[in-house]
Amino acid sequence: MLRDQDVSGFAVRKMASGVATFIFERRPKGTGRLKQETIGRCDHLSVDQARSKARVVAAEFSSPDYISSQQIHANMPTFAEAVDQYVALELSRKKLSYQKKTIGTLRRYALGRLGEISLSSLRRQHVVAVVQAIMSDGKNPTAEMVWTSISNVLNWARLAGHMEINPLFGHKPAFHLRPRERTLSLDEVCRIWEATNSLSEPQKAIVRLLILMPFRKEELRLLTWPEIETSWVNIPATRTKNSDPISLYMTEFAYCQLPERRNETNLVFSASGTQAIAVGTKINRKLEMVSGVSNWVFHDFRRTFSTSMHECDAQHHIIEACLNHKDGTKVGVAGVYNRATYRSLVQQVMQQWSNAVEDAIGRS
């Protein structure tokens, strides 16, 4: 043991194996026995770096709050435990689709790397290492989602008294996100429509209805038969992105695309009768292969609907109503007074779009 002359308690410990390690050894304030902490190996740190760290430890050992702070540290949850508490106490209040997306993100990308780290030891560098690995694969949107999900957990932990600060606050990386601008031509829509014949009946039905009715994928995927009422599809607020219910007119052509009703379930799009089908990358890739139309996602159908209807001189605020967006007539004070649903005008726009798609399919 070689002790430092500048910082009392700082020393180098060399083992019989030849491994040399910087350590700090002193009796913490309020305790009756020596405590030794490892600072780092001599081949990993310079003397000045180790001495600087030793001064920090010395200040902790000298603090009159040392014992209470150690007790807090001992009771500090790990990141995995914090996630469990966050899911049970905070995330459970959110929409089911948001819950599933967040839990899936944390399980896939964060818990394996961060789960066993105590919140008191978790640093921004830990999270940066996680998201940089994702960014290096070119998955910037995924990396941002991971960062946001972890930050939400840490912010909840701060409010719950587990942490003084969220170490990610104010340090969000530049994720280089590019908004999607893809719209489909009617010819491409027709090719995707024809390609749905390669899918199962519920899969074919939901893709065709996503083309004809500009719902978000998760809004339509969980559709039940009671939500279809006299040619209108009614999505409750609990399933929409902005927590506003939406009703869209279902044309006769759209109605013909519905799958046959099964007696054992209220779910419209189900293969098992117990849960709704998944509508994701697997279906998208199959339709790309069969149709020859590439670089599109299901959400592009909404942008295609909006673009086409604007080009047909449909009123902007009616198109926004079909998309369940809040335009200038529905936000702020205007939104407080304007409670119109534009039902008859929405029906006209939906019929106009349905006719355009049906005519294009008939010509193809």
Convert the chain into a string of H (helix), E (strand) and C (coil): CEECCCCCCEEEEECCCCCEEEEEEECCCCCCCCEEEEEEECCCCCHHHHHHHHHHHHHHHHCCCHHHHHHHHHCCCEHHHHHHHHHHHCHHHCCHHHHHHHHHHHHHHHHHHHCCCECCCCCHHHHHHHHHHHHCCCCHHHHHHHHHHHHHHHHHHHHCCCCCCCCCCCCCCCCCCCCCCCCCCHHHHHHHHHHHHHCCHHHHHHHHHHHHCCCCHHHHHCCEHHHEECCEEEECHHHCCCCCCEEEECCHHHHCCCCCCCCCCCECCECCCCCECCCCHHHHHHHHHHHCCCCCCCCHHHHHHHHHHHHCCCCHHHHHHHCCCCCCCCCHHHHHHCCCCCHHHHHHHHHHHHHHHHHHHHHC
pLDDT value for 75 = 65
Provide the pairing of β-strand 2-3 with 228-229: unpaired
pLDDT value for 335 = 63
* Assigned CATH topology for domain 186-363: hpI Integrase; Chain A (1.10.443)
Residue with tokens 């209108």: 232
pLDDT value for 196 = 97
Instruction: Give me 334's structure tokens.
Output: 């205007």
* Assigned CATH topology for domain 79-159: DNA polymerase; domain 1 (1.10.150)
- Each residue of 129-142: b (16+ CB within 10 Å) or e? ebbeebbeeebbeb
Q: How far apart are CA 112 and CA 290, in angstroms?
A: 37
pTM strictly above 0.85: no
Instruction: Give me 117's structure tokens.
Output: 């780290």
Q: Within its chain, how far is the Cα of 100 from the centroid? A: 9
Q: Which long-range contacts (CB under 8 A, 24 or more apart) does 124-128 make?
A: 124/167, 124/168, 124/171, 127/167, 127/168, 128/173
* Assigned CATH topology for domain 2-74: Double Stranded RNA Binding Domain (3.30.160)
- Each residue of 44-67: b (16+ CB within 10 Å) or e? ebeeeebbebbeebbeebeeeebe
Instruction: Give me 38's structure tokens.
Output: 């490892």
| Residue 267, strand partner residues | 224
- Domain residues of the chain, as ranges? 2-74, 79-159, 186-363
pLDDT value for 61 = 80
pLDDT value for 356 = 97
What pLDDT tens digit does each residue of the chain (364 aa) get?
899 988 989 999 999 988 999 999 988 887 778 888 888 889 888 999 999 999 988 888 888 776 666 555 656 789 999 999 999 999 988 888 889 899 999 999 999 999 999 888 888 999 999 999 999 888 888 999 999 999 999 999 999 888 888 999 888 888 877 777 899 999 999 999 999 999 999 999 999 999 999 999 999 999 999 999 989 999 999 889 888 999 999 999 999 999 999 888 999 999 988 899 999 889 999 999 999 999 999 999 999 999 999 999 999 999 999 999 987 666 666 665 566 789 999 999 999 999 999 999 998 6
